[in-house]
Amino acid sequence: MSFTPGTELGRANQEVFAETLLTLAKEDKDILAVTSDSRGSGKLMSYAAALPEQLIEVGIAEQNLVGVAAGLASAGKIVFAVSPASFLTARALEQIKNDVCYSDQAVKLVGISAGVSYGALGSTHHATHDIAVLRAIHNITIVVPADNLETAEAVKTAAKMTHPVYLRFGKRPMPDLHLSGTPFEIGKALRIRDGSDIAFIAAGEAVHPALKAAEELDKSGYSTRVISMHTVKPLDAEAVIRAARECRAVVTVEEHHTSGGLGEACASTLMEANVQVPFKIAGIPDEYAMTGSQVEIFRHYGLTASGLARTATALLEDQ
Amino acid sequence: MTDHELYIKSIEYRIKLLKYIKMAGAGHTGGSLSCVDILNVLYNRILKVTPETFSDPGRDRYIQSKGHSVEALYIVLADHGFFPEKELETFYGYGSSYTGHPTRKVKGVEQNTGGLGHGLAFSVGVALAGKIDQSAYRVFTLLGDGELAEGSNWESLMAAAHYHLDNLCIIIDRNNLQLTGHTEDMCGLEPLAQKLEAFGGQVRAVDGHNLTALTEILSKVPFAEGQPSVVIARTVKGKGISFMENNPKWHHGVPDDNQYEQAQQELKTKLAEIGS
């Protein structure tokens, strides 16, 4: 059986999240989804119909969502608090910090429609800050799955975790990047293809354009590695350092501001390890993002096959 | 415990919390003195929780949303054997677990609090889990009046009413003062009882320093089937020390040596009056 990463279109990661959660929750009545008028956006309508007793609705009240989730978790419930990433991680940030992380309540925070999934709705609905703010909070694992396999595995792992975790999902159907059965482990990056000239270290829905860029670069004679860094915290430092040592340039790619996200996490890891490499952070610059569809916004900021290939080529040619 | 013993505790707790505030050179004196009688009644009369049952899923919960009045909580927990009182000598100290707001590092503390407007949402979650599990435990949470300006409380109260959480009792330490001054001069809360009722609470008011009345009202929880109970405890900030009462200066004021002597003298005189 042959498998080529990125060729078969799967479903939206947040759909796979909801489906996986439903499967788990049918087997364990302690699993609860808590929503803030977000069951539709979170693709939890089937879940709500199948397990109405295992869905807690709090209305449009994200602060309460997170506080209530912490209380439920403290009483032994396995709680997935689901809300658009933009609101969950800004409106309820103090609840995330105090009620969940500082108090070590094992809530699973689920940021849906993350990044610029809600591209045309404008910056109120964009979540391009979430990874940065959560990286600065102690005691939370940050997971940004790239495809359906990573999503399903991340949800299953999160259900068993005894400390806080943030799962970040988008709403666009994602191509499969891994062969079925690929082992997934929190904190351990997945290498999708190997190469020695350029390394793309990407996360979430930005992994696929990085893969397409790698294919273009290969045609131009640049051997290109692609890593899905699904866990941004704790970062797989070994994979980052190896990429920098084994390749001539590193480009990080993320659907997030270039401040405080995956790119800066990789940069500080390399600086502190005293590894020098031509390095570029691709993402959304310090401005309120252009509006339009997610695809248009990615194109605007060069987060496409050709845009990322140009970025990587320029980085190599500058040497 | 008899009413008489309870009143003695009320004075002894004040003597001790002033002692540790003085020793630390820091603390939230006024608010601890306003809520310590509530804690006294809760732990000595109402709550079914002990150091031995603190990990029991069926235990009653107490969550102190007004985390800054932590001295009152520490003193009462120590009195109940959750930890040796001597450990409070490290209160506010470098590396101490006995920080200026409660954390789960201290046995008996359910949740880290201190940021205001957090305790109620957490309590709603715990009460909701109790309902789902058909467990008999009750959840008591203490809120400051100043913290009611935090909108999150009102989100949580709506949820408590929506889910018919009659296993939840919200106690408001209505001492009328906050850091800067009178609550009604900051962002007025009144008519408070009507607001709480409109949000779905069953509201009762009580003299928050009358231990008999507090016992009576807290024994009646839930006040109505299917609704959260809300107690507005009318209290005096700085209660029990003449020069601290109703003075916002004592929100986190620490007595100097003379003031400390005078305060302890006042309390000892009261103790002698009621007879130990």
Q: For residue A183, is it within any domain?
A: no
Q: What share of chain A is helix, strand, coil (3-state, %, to 5)?
A: 40, 20, 35
Q: Please check whether residue A54 is in contact with residue A25, taking contact to mean a CB–CB distance below 8 angstroms.
A: yes
- pLDDT tens column, A129-179: 999 999 999 999 999 999 999 999 999 999 999 999 999 999 999 999 999
What is the number of domains present in chain B?
A: 1
The domain spanning residue A157 has which CATH number?
3.40.50.970
User: What is the tens place of the pLDDT at every residue in B33-73?
Assistant: 999 999 999 999 999 999 999 999 999 999 999 999 999 99
The partner residues of B204 in beta bridges, in order of sequence, read B231
CB pair distance less than 8 Å for A95 and B118: yes
| Interface touch A75/B159, C-beta < 8 Å | no
CB contact under 8 A, B152 and A102: no
| pLDDT confidence bin for A39, thresholds 50/70/90 | very high
A216 and A144 assigned to the same domain? no
User: What are residue A224's DSSP bridge partners?
Assistant: A198
Mean pLDDT score, A214-222 = 96
B-chain residue closest to A61, CA distance = B155
Tell me how many domains chain A contains: 2
**Domain-embedded: residue A100:** yes
For the stretch A244-300, pLDDT in tens is: 999 999 999 999 999 999 999 999 999 999 999 999 999 999 999 999 999 999 999
* SS3 category, B54: coil
Q: Are A19 and A42 in contact (CB under 8 A)?
A: no
Verify whether the Cβ–Cβ distance A75 to B57 is below 8 Å: yes
Contacts of A103 in chain B (CB under 8 A): 103-104, 111-112
Cα–chain-centroid distance for residue A102? 23
Do A136 and A217 belong to one domain? no
From A145, A175, A205, give the residue that closes a domain.
A175
Could you count the other beta carbons within 10 Å of the beta carbon of residue B253?
A: 17
Strand blocks (E) in chain B: 61-64, 139-144, 168-174, 202-207, 229-234
Does residue A219 lie in a domain region? yes
Q: Are A38 and A63 within one domain?
A: yes
- Identify which of A53, A68, A102 has the shortest CB distance to residue B121: A68
> Does any domain span residue A286?
yes
CATH number at residue B130: 3.40.50.970
Residues A154 and A13 grouped into a single domain = yes
How far away is chain B from the Cα of A110, in angstroms, using its nearest Cα? 17
Q: Which residues of B touch A139 (CB under 8 A)?
A: none
Mutate to test the interface with A, among B60, B64, B111 (most CBs of A within 10 A): B111
Residues of B with CB under 8 A from a CB of A: 57, 103-104, 110-115, 117-118, 120-130, 132-133, 151-152, 155-156, 158-159, 162
Question: What would the two tokens of residue B255 be?
Answer: 């007595």
Range of the domain at A201: 190-317
Q: What is the pLDDT of residue B46?
A: 98
ipTM over 0.95: yes
Q: Is residue A122 part of a domain?
A: yes
Mutate to test the interface with B, among A99, A107, A108 (most CBs of B within 10 A): A99
List the CATH number of the domain containing A203. Answer: 3.40.50.920
Does A1 have pLDDT greater than 80?
Answer: no
Stretch B190-200: mean pLDDT, rounded? 98
- Whether B109 shows a pLDDT value over 60: the answer reads yes
Mark which residues 63-82 of A lie under 8 Å from B by CB.
Answer: 63-64, 66-77
Same-domain status, A152 and A40:
yes
Out of B57, B104, B128, whose CB is closest to A68? B128
Residue B226 CA: distances (Å) to CA of A306, B51, B126: 61, 30, 16
Asked if B155 and A74 come within 8 Å (Cβ–Cβ), the reply is no
Find chain A residues with C-beta within 8 A of B117's C-beta.
Answer: 63
- Are A64 and B152 an interchain contact pair (Cβ–Cβ within 8 Å)? yes
Q: Same structural domain for residues A168 and A212?
A: no
Task: Give dist(CA A249, CA A226) in Å, integer.
Answer: 12
User: What's the pLDDT at B273?
Assistant: 93
Supply the pLDDT for residue A319.
Answer: 76
Instruction: Report which DSSP code applies to A21.
Output: H
Count chain A–chain B contacts defined by CB atoms under 8 A: 100
Q: What is the pLDDT of residue B74?
A: 98
A15 within domain boundaries: yes
- Mean pLDDT for B90-107 is 97
- The whole domain housing B147 covers 3-274
Q: A102 contacts in B (CB within 8 Å)?
A: 103, 112
Q: Which residue of B has its CA nearest to A53?
A: B132
Residue B186 distance to chain A (closest CA, Å): 23
Q: Does A14 fall in a domain?
A: yes
At A122 the pLDDT is 95
Q: What pLDDT is stored for residue B276 in this prediction?
A: 57
Give the span between the Cα atoms of A23 and B169, in whole angstroms. 36
Whether residue A147 sits in one domain with residue A59: yes
Residues A201 and A164 occupy one common structural domain: no
Q: Region B73-82: what's the mean pLDDT?
A: 98
Task: Give a yes or no: residue A181 inside a domain.
Answer: no
- Give the E-state strand segments of B175-257 in sequence order: 202-207, 229-234
Chain A (101-120) residues lying within 8 Å, Cβ to Cβ, of chain B: 102-105
Q: Are residues A219 and A243 in the same domain?
A: yes
Are residue A61 and residue A107 in the same domain, yes or no?
A: yes
Residues B199, B173 contacting (CB under 8 angstroms): no
pTM for the full predicted model: 0.97
Instruction: Output the DSSP codes for B125-193.
Output: HHHHHHHHTT----EEEEEESGGGGSTHHHHHHHHHHHTT-TTEEEEEEE-SB-SSSBHHHHH---SHH
| Whether A251 and A160 share a structural domain | no
Query: Are A11 and A34 contacting, i.e. CB atoms less than 8 angstroms apart?
Result: no
Query: Are A138 and A218 members of one domain?
Result: no
Contact status, residue A82 vs residue A55, Cβ threshold 8 Å? no
Rounded percentage of chain A residues whose pLDDT exceeds 70: 100
